[in-house]
Amino acid sequence: MRQVNVDAVVDLYRPYLMHLPYVSQVRVGNRKGRPVVQVCVFRPLDDLLVADCDRIPHMLDGYETEVVVLRNVPHSAVEV
């Protein structure tokens, strides 16, 4: 079975992921030489405090996700 291109996976899931709390960007990343779906957030979220429907999946169409916490984001840019 052929794996879907990571760029296509990012494009497919970007609208869904961008609606999750504190997500600011979804992009292709690289971890240990393998492509991943990077989900950039304004602040780390405690899994115990996030509703199941708002959690970032660990895998999307065969690609791991990687949560990246952005630093130095102006407070006014953070939606609450």
- The mean pLDDT of 71-75, rounded to a whole number, is 63
Convert the pLDDT of each residue in 2-57 to its tens digit.
Answer: 578 999 999 999 999 999 988 999 999 999 999 999 999 988 777 668 888 888 99
Radius of gyration of the chain measured on its C-alpha atoms:
13
Cα separation of 24 and 27, whole Å? 10
* Dihedral angle of Cα 56, 38, 32, 69, to the nearest 10 degrees: -80
Asked whether residue 80 carries a pLDDT value surpassing 50, the answer given is no
Beta bridge partners of 2: none
- Structural domain boundaries of the chain? 6-74
Q: For 60-80, what is the mean pLDDT?
A: 76
Query: Does the model's pTM come out above 0.85?
Result: no
